[in-house]
Every structure is written in C-alpha cells, then in structure tokens.
C-alpha cells in the first residue's frame, strides 16, 4: 500500500465534507485527506492532478499518495502566501471587478487547453447517463434537457467540474487552479452553470452555507458576474452576453441536478431531491414544461 504517515505531524487548516487539509511544519507540503464520504477516490484525483500539471496548467504539483488513519491522502506542494479569488473579494468588495477579470482570464486559458480524452471522463456522457435514470424531472423536462445537450457544440478541452472562486488561488502575479477531483473534458458551459446556479439560485440552504462556510454573501457575488462574463468572452456586446447567459441558465439546472444526484442521500429524501430538481428547472428555464 502507500506510505503510512502520522497525522500528528501535520497541522489541520481546513475541513470540508469530502476532505481534510493539512500542512507540514515548514509549510512546504499540503496533505489532502480524502474521506469516505467523497464520490471520488484519492487515486483518481492524484492521477487527474498529475495529468493536468503535466499539460502545463498552473496547479500545485502533486507529489505522493499516502495512507493515514484508514484513509488515503495526497501530498501536494504547499503554496505559501496564497489567497483565493473568493477570499480576495470577500475581504475587499471594492476589488470585485479586478478579481473577477483575473479569474475569467485564468479560466479561459484553462478551458482553451486540449484534454487527453483517453485519460479523462466525458462530462456530458456522465450527465446523459444520469438523465437516462429516474431523476425527478418530468418527461417533458427530461426531453428538453437531453435535446439541448445533444444540440450543443462538443468540446474536448478541460473543464473543472467544481466552478468556485475558492478553487482559484494566487500569489503575487501567479495564478493557480486547485481541486481537480472533478476534472473532465467537455463544454465550458458546465463550469459556468455550476457557479451561476450557486450564486443566482433561490436556495436558502445554499445561501446559509455560503455565509457559514465560504464566509461570503452570494448577493455580493452577483455583482461580479457581469465583470467575469465580459472578460471571459472579451466583449461588451450585450446581445451576445444575454444569449450566453440564457444557455448558462440551462447548464445551471443540469449542474445542480448532477450535484444532487452525485451526493449520497437517504431514500427518505429522494422525494425532496426530486422536488429540488424540478424547482431549479422552473427557476432557470420556466414552468411551461
């Protein structure tokens, strides 16, 4: 198996639902322990992170897979003095435009990087597979989403799968992308949909979690969306941006559906999950289906 390490020699600095994060004494290494609740393995993330790093994407270098307290962990290089885009705009709301533009440029470069389709999953194929199972949508809603995806432009570039400004960090003028556990290939709109749904979705639980976990107000992040979109596409053409936003709203439904169905829930909560799936469809697409 992998080299066993003693967690007592590491310092915990953050804990999430799927992972716990530590650094060593001199802050040169970052240990990410993937917990059993994650729907991906440490091995999968390590392989993807290594491939992304070797493709020239600026991301902390993955160093080693290790064992610790019956879990598997990944040791990365530790980026000292880092700050996330999310933290930057939360601490200084006046920096919203500057940092959203910065994020957009890093994301555009990432999305324009060709992906080895033999080594990464096809994200759209995963979504279509889920849509083919009982999923909470009505028949008309399901048909709408399947037809929409099949008519979209196929892409073979990287997508992150977890579009969150906390996954973009910087030190000085150097930018990094982190958390590659969901990295796949496909249309970048999937990434936009994930973020758009988080920020613009009418969900009290998400708003509460954002304030408690991310320490930010989603209403404040809405202000940054136009800066991000204009910088990403390099245009102020309102008609074009409106058309892109209409598409992104459909992807927002798809991504929230995907997230809800990739999260383990008790059978007693299936009805609630189905209700939430249809509610997001009604919010972002309409009630005429």
User: Looking at the domain assignment, is residue 250 inside a domain?
Assistant: yes
- 219: pLDDT confidence band, cut at 50, 70 and 90? confident
What average pLDDT does the segment 19-34 reach? 94
**What pLDDT score was predicted for residue 164?**
83
Q: How many domains does the chain have?
A: 2
Closest CA to 79 of 162, 219, 10, 178: 178
Closest CA to 77 of 65, 66, 64, 61: 61
Indicate if the pLDDT at residue 34 is higher than 90: no
User: Looking at the domain assignment, is residue 262 inside a domain?
Assistant: yes
User: Looking at the domain assignment, is residue 214 inside a domain?
Assistant: yes
Q: Which of 77, 109, 126 is the last residue of a domain?
A: 77
Same domain membership, residue 59 and residue 102: no
User: Looking at the domain assignment, is residue 140 inside a domain?
Assistant: yes
DSSP letter at 61 equals: P
Q: Which of 35, 60, 77 is the last residue of a domain?
A: 77
What average pLDDT does the segment 95-109 reach? 95
> What SS3 state is found at 187?
coil
What average pLDDT does the segment 72-76 reach? 95
Domain limits for position 29: 3-77
What average pLDDT does the segment 207-236 reach? 80
Same domain membership, residue 103 and residue 221: yes
CATH of the domain at 68: 3.30.200.20
d(CA 275, CA 252): 16
**What pLDDT score was predicted for residue 216?**
66
Q: What are phi and psi of 37, to 5 degrees?
A: -75, -15
- 30: pLDDT confidence band, cut at 50, 70 and 90? very high
**What pLDDT score was predicted for residue 12?**
95
- pLDDT per residue over 184-213, tens digit each? 999 999 999 999 998 898 765 555 555 655
Same domain membership, residue 164 and residue 34: no
Strand partners, 29: 77
Same domain membership, residue 205 and residue 132: yes
Contact at 8 Å (CB) between 51 and 118?
no
- 15: pLDDT confidence band, cut at 50, 70 and 90? confident
User: Looking at the domain assignment, is residue 73 inside a domain?
Assistant: yes
- pLDDT per residue over 244-267, tens digit each? 999 999 999 999 999 988 877 788
Q: Which of 24, 51, 77 is the last residue of a domain?
A: 77
- 39: pLDDT confidence band, cut at 50, 70 and 90? low
User: Looking at the domain assignment, is residue 289 inside a domain?
Assistant: no
CATH of the domain at 175: 3.90.1200.10
- pLDDT per residue over 116-156, tens digit each? 999 999 999 999 999 999 889 999 999 999 999 999 988 99
Same domain membership, residue 119 and residue 60: no
Give the predicted TM-score (pTM) of the model.
0.91
**What pLDDT score was predicted for residue 204?**
53
User: Looking at the domain assignment, is residue 199 inside a domain?
Assistant: yes
Averaged pLDDT score across all residues of the chain = 90
Which residues make Cβ contacts (< 8 Å) with residue 195, sequence separation at least 6?
163, 164, 165
User: Looking at the domain assignment, is residue 94 inside a domain?
Assistant: yes
**What pLDDT score was predicted for residue 127?**
96
Indicate if the pLDDT at residue 36 is higher than 90: no
- Written as six digits, the tokens of 173 are 């003028």
**What pLDDT score was predicted for residue 230?**
98
What average pLDDT does the segment 65-84 reach? 93
């Amino acid at each position: 198996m992998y080299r066993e390490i003693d967690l007592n020699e590491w310092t915990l600095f953050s804990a999430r639902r799927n992972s716990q994060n530590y650094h060593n004494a001199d802050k040169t290494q970052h240990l990410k322990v993937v917990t059993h609740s994650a729907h991906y393995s440490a091995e999968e993330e390590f392989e993807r992170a290594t491939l992304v790093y070797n493709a020239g994407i600026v991301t902390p270098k993955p160093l080693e897979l290790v064992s610790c307290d019956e879990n598997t962990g990944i040791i990365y290089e530790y980026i000292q003095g880092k700050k996330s885009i999310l933290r930057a705009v939360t601490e200084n709301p006046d920096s919203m435009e500057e940092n959203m533009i910065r994020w957009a440029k890093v994301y555009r470069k990432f999305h324009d990087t060709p992906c080895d389709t033999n080594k990464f999953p096809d994200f759209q194929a995963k979504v279509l597979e889920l849509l083919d199972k009982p999923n909470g949508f009505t028949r008309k809603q399901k048909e709408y989403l399947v037809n929409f995806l099949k008519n979209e432009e196929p892409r073979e570039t990287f997508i992150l799968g977890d579009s969150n400004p906390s996954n973009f960090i910087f030190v000085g003028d150097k930018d990094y992308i982190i958390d590659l556990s969901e990295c796949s290939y496909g249309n970048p709109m999937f990434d936009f949909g994930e973020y758009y749904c988080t920020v613009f979705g009418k969900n009290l639980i998400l708003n509460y979690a954002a304030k408690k976990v991310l320490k930010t107000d989603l209403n404040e992040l809405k202000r940054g969306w136009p800066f991000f979109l204009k910088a990403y596409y390099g245009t102020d053409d309102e008609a074009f941006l409106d058309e892109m936003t209409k598409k992104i709203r459909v992807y927002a439904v798809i991504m929230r559906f995907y997230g809800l169905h990739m999260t383990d829930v008790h059978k007693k909560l299936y009805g609630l999950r189905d209700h939430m799936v249809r509610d997001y469809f009604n919010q972002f697409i309409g009630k005429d289906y």
